[in-house]
Amino acid sequence: MAEITLRQAARWCGGTVEEKYADVAFFGANNDTRVLEPGQLFIVLQGARDGHDYIPAAMEKGAAAVLCTRRTGDYPAIYVDDPRKALGDIAREALKRIGAKVIAVTGSAGKSTTKEMIATVLQSTFRVSKTPANHNNDIGMPMAILAMPEDTKVAVLEMGMNHFGEIEYLSNIAYPDVAVIINIGTAHMEFLGSQAGIRKAKMEIVSGMDEKGMLLLNGDDTMLRNLEQPPQQRVTYFGRTEGCDVRAVDVRQDGPILRFRAEAGRLSIPVAMNLEGEHYVHDALAAVAVALKLLVPTDRIGESLSQFRNISGRQEIFQAGEYTIIKDCYNAGPESMAAALNVLGNRKGRRVAVLGDMLELGGRAQAEHYRVGRIAAEKADLLLVYGPLAPRVRDGAITGGMPENRCLVFREREKLIEALKQNARPGDVLLFKASRGMHLEQVLAEFLTEET
C-alpha cells in the first residue's frame, strides 16, 4: 500500500498538522483498535462512545497517527472538523495517485458476489484490488482504497446504501470508469419508500462518472430496462432476454454445476461454475460484460469463472456429518430469500428451511415475509422460522398448503436450536437464511457443535 505523509493527507482533506509531525507517514487506515495494524492512521469517529477515548489504545497498538477533531495529547495527528468526510477526501486523492481504472458495483441483492466474480475474472489479466467483505459504506470503502497496493491497475469497489445520498458520496470518491447495477429489489424499502426510490438511490452511482464512463445494467430487470431519465453514460445491458448486449443462453443446472453460454455480438463464451441456482447467471454476466469492456481475452473469462468460489457465508453448500448444509447467513432480502429457497427445493432428500427475519423492509415487511412463507411451502418439507416476523412467514406457508405441524415459530434463539436438534434427521438438507442482524450463523454453529 502507498505511503502517505500527514502533510499530504492534511492538504488533501483541508486539515491541520503540527509541523514536527508533518513528515510522519502512514500506510492504510482503521477505525477499530481491535484490528488496527502498526503503521495505520487511526480514524476517530463518534459512536456510542467518543472515539477520542480510544486514541491511547490505538497508539499503543502502533498507530502511526490519528485523524481527529481536537488535540488530546502529544502524538502525530491531523485535525479536522469531520473525520468521516476527511477520510473520504484522503481516499479520493490516494486513488487518483494510484491511477487505477475503477469498477463500481451496486444492487439490491448479489452485489458482493458480483464484485467477487468481476475481480476473479479481471485478475487473469490485471493487478486487481477490491473492497473486502462488507466494506461498502462511507467508512469501509475509503479504508479499502487506502489499503490498495500502489501497482493496482483495476479497483473493484462495492457500493452499498440504505439512504439517499450515500452512493452519490461514494461515487464522488471513486470516480468510476465502469459502473454495474445488478438489480433493483426491495431491500432498504424502510428508508427509500418504494422501488422507484431504491432505483433513484442506486442510480446515484453515475454521480462521479464522466460522460465517457460505461454503465452496465441488468436488462432483465424492468426497473433498470425502463429508466425514467436515461443517463449521459453509454449503457450496456446484460441478461437472458432478447435485446441484451451480453446475453446468457442455454442456461441449465447440471448437478452442482451451473452452465450457460454468454453471447456478445459474434462472441460466444462457454461458462461452467461450481454454483447452484440460476440467480447467479446475472452476476456472472456482469463479470463477462466488464471483462469484455476491459478487453480481457475471451478464453480467460470462462476459465476464471470456472475457478470462482463464493465468499464465506454466501450460499456455502457442504456436508456436516449426515447433513447437507446450505449456509446463506450473510444477508437476506425478498429476492435472495426466494433464490435460496429455490436452491433448497431442487435438492433431493428431506428439505428443512431455517429462516430468520429480513430487515429494513419498512411497510413492505409484513407482505414480504408472508410471500416468503408461500414460497417456502412449495420448496421445504419442514419450516423453522425465527424472529418477530416469523408468524407472518408461518401464515404464508400455511396458506400455501404447508401443514401447521411442519411450520414452527420461535422468538428465542435457544428454543430454535433445541427444536432443530430434535427435528433434524440424518440425510436432511438444511438451509439457513436470514438478514445479518439475526445472527443465524450462530444457530448453525451451535447445531453443528452438537451434531458433528
Out of 65-74, 121-130, 223-232, 419-428, pick the least confident: 223-232
What domains are defined for the chain?
4-82 (3.40.1390.10), 99-306 (3.40.1190.10), 316-451 (3.90.190.20)
pLDDT tens-digit readout, 354-371: 999 998 888 888 999 999
**Does pLDDT of 27 surpass 60?**
yes
**Does pLDDT of 452 surpass 50?**
no
Q: State residue 13's pLDDT score.
A: 97
Q: What angle do CA 185, 189, 195 make, to 5 degrees?
A: 50
Q: State residue 311's pLDDT score.
A: 72
- CB 402 within 8 Å of CB 425: no
pLDDT tens-digit readout, 299-313: 999 999 999 987 766
- CB 153 within 8 Å of CB 319: no
Once rounded to an integer, what is the mean pLDDT over residues 39-62? Answer: 92
Rounded mean pLDDT of the chain?
92
Q: What are residue 361's phi and psi, to 5 degrees?
A: -100, -5
Q: State residue 188's pLDDT score.
A: 58
Q: How far is CA 128 from CA 99, 149, 235, 364, in A?
A: 12, 9, 24, 39
pLDDT tens-digit readout, 395-418: 999 999 999 999 999 999 999 999
Cell of 376: 417456502
pTM for this structure?
Answer: 0.81
- CB 167 within 8 Å of CB 159: yes
Q: State residue 146's pLDDT score.
A: 96
pLDDT tens-digit readout, 143-193: 999 999 999 999 999 999 878 899 999 999 999 999 999 999 876 556 676
Once rounded to an integer, what is the mean pLDDT over residues 263-281? Answer: 94
Q: How confident is the model at residue 449 (pLDDT cuts 50, 70, 90)?
A: confident
The closest of 216, 131, 201 to 161, measured between CA atoms, is 201
* DSSP conformation letters of 362-407: GGGHHHHHHHHHHHHHHH-SEEEEESTTHHHHHHHHHHTT--GGGE
Q: State residue 314's pLDDT score.
A: 75
Instruction: Tell me the residue ranges of DSSP E strands in 44-170.
Output: 65-68, 77-79, 101-106, 128-130, 154-158
Once rounded to an integer, what is the mean pLDDT over residues 33-49? Answer: 92
- CB 404 within 8 Å of CB 413: no
Q: State residue 312's pLDDT score.
A: 65
**Does pLDDT of 274 surpass 50?**
yes
